[in-house]
Amino acid sequence: MSTAVTIALPGDVIPPSALPKPQKQNKPLTLGPGLRHIPPSTITSTIAGALTTDSKKNAAWVEYNSGRFLPAVGDLVIATVNNSAGEGFNCFITPNTPFATLPQLAFEGATRKTRPQLAANSLVYARVTNAGKESSPEITCVDPSTGKSEGLGPLKGGMVFKISLGMARRLLAGKKGGVTVLEGLSEKVGFEVAIGRNGVLWVDGGKVKATLAIGRAVQEVDEKALGETGQKKVVEKVLRNL
Amino acid sequence: MAPGAILSHLHRADGSATYTHNGYSIIGAVNGPVEVLRRDEMPEEATVEVNIRPAFGVGGPKERHLESLLHSTLRSIILTRSIPRTLVQITLQVSSLPEEEASTRVNSSLTLLPHLLHTSLLALLSASIPLSTTLTSALIAVPAHKSDPKLAVPLLSPTAANLLRAAPIQSTHVFAFSGDRRLLLNESEGAFSYEEWEEACEMAEESCCKEGGGGVDIGEGMEVDGQQGNLEAWLREVVRRKVGEEQRWRVAT
């Protein structure tokens, strides 16, 4: 491990020298997960992890990869529909937590007459719109400004795979996440994926065999924390067996 | 001997830890924040539930007593107001006790308490439950001195064999300190004067808390292999290993 990582324990006071230096004077400091501001000017961490800063965004947060997913506004999640109640669907984001509500009109092209029929246990790819601690979370499958789905909506076919929360973040982060296994596989096999921040990966590879192979490959990369060469080897192994 | 700790090894629980020290071994699991039973729900706070399972048999009054001690201590460090109307469930299974445990004639709930506290803290860290501070705890045993009670040397975190050799024990104390050196919990038993208690308290504080105030230490971990390693440094080392494990993809090839 490089020495640049700053370990934060709950209750540690983050010294101002460890916080990012704003490039523009008027940009306020943003605190991400795991940090708490105690007025007037004390910043302490609340969870154990690596303190990470971004001087461009003037943001600081604690990076960790364990525990349960806590929804935040804007997160993309794969939710499971439990039942339909009145105006909305009750969905699970993580097991044993209060339902997230998905309004029946929050789909592309949905009107009062043509609302989607979702059976229990069907999957939806949705965005979190409200995650206040005062109320149960709300999710939507439509961009409220354009009325388009932007890739969100019910997921048909395919399979879900459990991945760690950190892996889900890495997959959504694109190049910064350093996951190349999906790109490597897509050169030879066609498939569709959706990544939920709640640690769920949905894969549809057309055939069951392809779906399973792709899902397991991502899980293997996650568990073994493989780097670029390791991921290439996984891709080769999967393509040989398909 | 520094305690041994393994984090996040149970994959069905949100957080878990196994802690081994002086012949004690405890498995802890934390689930949370999850949905709470309607009658336990609090509008502005999280509910904390502690379950202790003994090494053999079913739990009795001793476990209930330990549960209530742990419950009040942990509630004071969990930021219960940041996750209202949820439940944080902590389950601790004692998996092994030292052989001499039954014959030390010291209240076994006191000897077990520091280990339970450490296990639950590690499991909470593994579950990433928001905490206001960390916690470290130590057991102090003051043996009876035949001629002059002032000459008795208190034992810091004694093993069961140490207790057996030093018998009879005059008094035992358990102290728990927060990361900023505040006393969170004190349980004492036996006959002791205020001076003796104060001496024991200082001894425990020294082994639990690091020198100076809090603050993030940047860079390398500290050595924890001394005869009585500092518990705060030990905790930092455990977390450093956890972070290293989580971030290893960054350096993997």
Decide if A9 and B219 are in contact by the 8 Å CB cutoff: no
Of B32, B235, B247, the CB nearest to A9: B235
pLDDT band at A135 (very low <50, low <70, confident <90, very high): confident
User: What tens digit of pLDDT does each residue of B109-120 get?
Assistant: 999 999 999 999
A71 belongs to a structural domain:
no
Q: Is the domain of A145 the same as that of A119? A: yes
Residue spans per domain, chain B: 4-252
- Reported pTM: 0.91
Give the whole-number percent of chain B exceeding pLDDT 70.
91
User: What tens digit of pLDDT does each residue of B9-33 get?
Assistant: 998 899 999 999 999 999 999 998 9
Output the pLDDT for position A139.
Answer: 94
Q: Is the domain of A15 the same as that of A44? A: yes
A70 belongs to a structural domain:
no
Confidence check: pLDDT of B173 > 60: yes
Note whether B182 contacts A: Cβ–Cβ < 8 A. Answer: no
A17 belongs to a structural domain:
yes
Q: Is the domain of A150 the same as that of A87? A: yes
User: What tens digit of pLDDT does each residue of A177-236 get?
Assistant: 889 999 999 999 999 999 999 999 999 999 999 999 999 999 999 999 888 899 999 999
| Chain A residues whose beta carbon lies within 8 Å of the beta carbon of residue B218 | 6, 18
Determine the average pLDDT of the residues in B191-205: 92
A219 belongs to a structural domain:
yes
Decide if B127 and A67 are in contact by the 8 Å CB cutoff: yes
CATH number at residue A40: 2.40.50.880
Q: Give dist(CA B182, CA B97) in Å, integer.
A: 30
Backbone angles phi, psi at A105, to 5 degrees: -90, 0
Of B35, B130, B249, the CB nearest to A46: B130
State the helix-helix crossing angle for B231-246 and B108-126, rounded to 10 degrees. Answer: 30
Task: State how far residue B198 is from chain A, nearest Cα, in angstroms.
Answer: 26
Confidence check: pLDDT of B221 > 80: no
Output the pLDDT for position B224.
Answer: 37
Q: Is the domain of A186 the same as that of A146? A: no
Q: Is the domain of A81 the same as that of A27? A: no
**B236 to chain A: nearest residue by CA?**
A9
Task: State how far residue A104 is from chain B, nearest Cα, in angstroms.
Answer: 24
pLDDT band at B226 (very low <50, low <70, confident <90, very high): very low
A1 belongs to a structural domain:
no
**Domain end call among A41, A63, A85:** A63
User: What tens digit of pLDDT does each residue of A10-53 get?
Assistant: 999 998 888 887 776 778 888 989 999 998 889 999 999 999 98
Determine the average pLDDT of the residues in B131-150: 86
pLDDT band at A126 (very low <50, low <70, confident <90, very high): very high
Determine the average pLDDT of the residues in A138-147: 88
A124 belongs to a structural domain:
yes
Confidence check: pLDDT of B225 > 60: no
pLDDT band at A54 (very low <50, low <70, confident <90, very high): confident
Task: State how far residue B245 is from chain A, nearest Cα, in angstroms.
Answer: 9
Decide if A46 and B251 are in contact by the 8 Å CB cutoff: no
Interface test with B, best of A47, A94, A97 (most B CBs within 10 A): A47
**Domain end call among A108, A131, A155:** A155
Interface test with B, best of A61, A133, A180 (most B CBs within 10 A): A133
**B220 to chain A: nearest residue by CA?**
A3
Q: Which two tokens stand for residue B38?
A: 């309607």
- Alpha helices, DSSP H only, in B84-192? 108-126, 160-166
Backbone angles phi, psi at A140, to 5 degrees: -140, 155
A32 belongs to a structural domain:
yes
User: What tens digit of pLDDT does each residue of B200-219 get?
Assistant: 999 999 999 876 544 444 43
Domain that holds residue A223: 159-241
* CB interface of B with A, residues 63-92, below 8 Å: 77, 79, 82-86
Distance of CA A54 to the CA centre of its chain: 19
Q: Give dist(CA A222, CA A163) in Å, integer.
A: 7
> How far are the Cα atoms of A66, A133, B101, B122, B154 from residue B176, in angstroms, in the given order?
26, 31, 22, 15, 17
Decide if A68 and B7 are in contact by the 8 Å CB cutoff: no
Decide if A67 and B129 are in contact by the 8 Å CB cutoff: yes
Of B83, B247, B253, the CB nearest to A5: B247
Is the domain defined by B4-252 classed in CATH 1.10.3720.10?
no
Q: Is the domain of A166 the same as that of A188? A: yes
| Chain A residues whose beta carbon lies within 8 Å of the beta carbon of residue B220 | 3
Output the pLDDT for position B229.
Answer: 67
Task: State how far residue A158 is from chain B, nearest Cα, in angstroms.
Answer: 24
Q: Which two tokens stand for residue B60?
A: 């009795």
Q: Is the domain of A165 the same as that of A237? A: yes
Q: Domains in chain A: how many in total?
A: 3
Of B32, B128, B133, the CB nearest to A11: B133
Decide if B246 and A64 are in contact by the 8 Å CB cutoff: yes
pLDDT band at B220 (very low <50, low <70, confident <90, very high): very low
Note whether B28 contacts A: Cβ–Cβ < 8 A. Answer: no
Q: Is the domain of A12 the same as that of A49? A: yes
Confidence check: pLDDT of A105 > 50: yes
**B42 to chain A: nearest residue by CA?**
A134
CATH number at residue A146: 2.40.50.140
Decide if B243 and A49 are in contact by the 8 Å CB cutoff: yes
| Chain B residues whose beta carbon lies within 8 Å of the beta carbon of residue A51 | 216
Of B14, B82, B215, the CB nearest to A15: B215
ipTM: 0.91
Task: State how far residue A140 is from chain B, nearest Cα, in angstroms.
Answer: 22
| Chain B residues whose beta carbon lies within 8 Å of the beta carbon of residue A3 | 219-220
* CB interface of B with A, residues 129-168, below 8 Å: 129-134
User: What tens digit of pLDDT does each residue of A146-166 get?
Assistant: 888 888 999 999 999 999 999
Note whether B212 contacts A: Cβ–Cβ < 8 A. Answer: no
Output the pLDDT for position B213.
Answer: 44
HEC sequence for chain A: CCCCCEEECCCCECCHHHCCCCCCCCCCCEECCCEEEECCCEEEECCCEEEEEECCCCEEEEECCCCCCCCCCCCEEEEEEEEEECCEEEEECCCCCCCEEEECCCCCCCCCCCCCCCCCCCEEEEEEEECCCCCCCEEECCCCCCCCCCCCEEECCCEEEECCHHHHHHHHCHHHHCCCHHHHHHCCCCCEEEEECCCEEEEECCCHHHHHHHHHHHHHHHHHCCCHHHHHHHHHHHHHHC
Residue B102 neighbours by CB distance under 10 Å: 10
A68 belongs to a structural domain:
no
**A5 to chain B: nearest residue by CA?**
B219
